[in-house]
Amino acid sequence: MKEMKKGLEGVVALDTKISYIDGIQGILKYRGINIEDLADLSYDAVSYLLITGKMPDEAELSEYSRMLVANRGINGKLIEVLKHFEFGVEALDGLRTAISCTAHFDEENNQHTPEANKNKAIKLVAEFPTIVAALHRASYGDEPIKPMDNLSHGANFLYMLSGKIPTDLEAEAMEKDLILSAEHELNPSTFSLRIASSTLSDMYSAVICGLCTLKGPLHGGARKGVMDMLDEIGSIENARDYALGKLERKEKIMGFGHRVYKTLDPRARIYKDVARRLAEENGDTSWFDMAEELEHILYHEFVEIKGKPIYPNVDFYSAVVYKYLDIPAELATSIFAMGRVSGWIAHCMEQYSDNRVIRPRAHTV
């Protein structure tokens, strides 16, 4: 048996047309287009691009958006189920169960035709924000807020969460967050979804695999970890002691480091800019200043201790953005999933289109 690398580091497991990462130069492309160019589009356009492989023209985008809006509503039976969930610290547990229920209510669940898969894709992308917002409100005993048709995917989510129409900058921040979270090659959740898809399991089941894997603090759960960490640090004066204490105890600092990027993650740069603008609009830059201070401290400490810097990853400044959007930390991973669902669906379809079951070997020791 060939030598294996722990954590499958550097192992190439499959071909994909969906995204491309150059971890040395800090480049990320979806379907051949740089993330910097995609970040200014709408989430609907990027979702269409990921799922179909083609940038939509005006008519295609308008039809796709119309279908998403038409499918934003959720089944009344699901709303009843949500009210019975016990909520702890992690809304993702509720989301995972809710997607399972959604599959039960979809008569096409176990149909594998391209048409059925297309319908499931639209429903999943459209319903995720409504489910996350409804789950959150149900946990406080509040009724869900009906989606508003004339708001963008991201702005409508913020509206369904709080009942307030977001400012233009808040709406832009939410759209960008969903776009930047939408896809990232063979990250752990996407890999688990591809394995499920390769057994020809249905799209809902594959997405649930993705959700379960995203939850962990070393993957999507890090975003909540960063929000909790910022609360724990509390003020910029405490950042140095916090960072040095963590390093001394050899504990991981959430939102830093990456398996693939050896330079700044290009998404982190865009998030940082959005976080700065939100801080300025908010008139209170303290969360942003604290985060930037932590970034500087860790960069220099890593150079000193390990001879190379460490950089913030996608979860670091996205957490600062969530702070300014007044998003509760327990929703962070679920909102990450709201964006990522388009990438997951694209990978599920790509796997179906040229399938061989994914079944590696283990080295018995």
Ligand X SMILES: CC(C)(COP(=O)(O)OP(=O)(O)OC[C@H]1O[C@@H](n2cnc3c(N)ncnc32)[C@H](O)[C@@H]1OP(=O)(O)O)[C@@H](O)C(=O)NCCC(=O)NCCS
| Residues assigned a catalytic role | 258, 315
Choose the stretch contacting ligand X; rule: CB under 6 A; options: 124-132, 152-160, 189-197, 216-224.
216-224
CB of 303 to ligand X, least distance (A): 13
Is residue 222 near ligand X by the rule CB under 6 A?
yes
Is residue 77 near ligand X by the rule CB under 6 A?
no
CB of 92 to ligand X, least distance (A): 15
- Give the whole-angstrom CA distance, residue 273 versus residue 57: 29
Coil vs helix vs strand at 303? helix
Is residue 191 near ligand X by the rule CB under 6 A?
no
CB of 29 to ligand X, least distance (A): 18
Cα separation values, 130 from 138, 159, 165, Å: 12, 10, 15
Binders of ligand X in range 302-321 (CB under 6 A) = 313-315
Out of 26, 255, 266, 343, the residue judged to bind ligand X by CB under 6 A: 255
Choose the stretch contacting ligand X; rule: CB under 6 A; options: 110-118, 256-264, 268-276, 355-363.
256-264
- Give the whole-angstrom CA distance, residue 176 versus residue 339: 10
Q: Name the amino acid, one letter, at 359.
A: R
- Give 211-276 as a 3 state SS string: HHHHCCCCCCCHHHHHHHHHHHHCCHHHHHHHHHHHHHCCCCCCCECCCCCCCCCHHHHHHHHHHH
Q: Do residues 321 and 174 touch, judged by C-beta distance below 8 A?
A: no
- Give the whole-angstrom CA distance, residue 277 versus residue 187: 29
CB of 301 to ligand X, least distance (A): 9
Select from 236, 320, 307 the least CA-distant residue to 274: 320
Choose the stretch contacting ligand X; rule: CB under 6 A; options: 40-48, 75-83, 227-235, 248-256.
248-256
* CB closer to ligand X, 130 vs 313: 313
CB of 229 to ligand X, least distance (A): 10
Out of 31, 258, 272, 276, the residue judged to bind ligand X by CB under 6 A: 258
DSSP string, 120-139: HHHHHHHHHHHHHHHHHHHH
- x-or-dash pattern for ligand X, window 1-20, by CB under 6 A? ------x-------------
Select from 210, 155, 164 the least CA-distant residue to 188: 210
- In the complex, the residues that contact ligand X under the rule CB under 6 A are 7, 218-219, 222, 252-259, 313-315
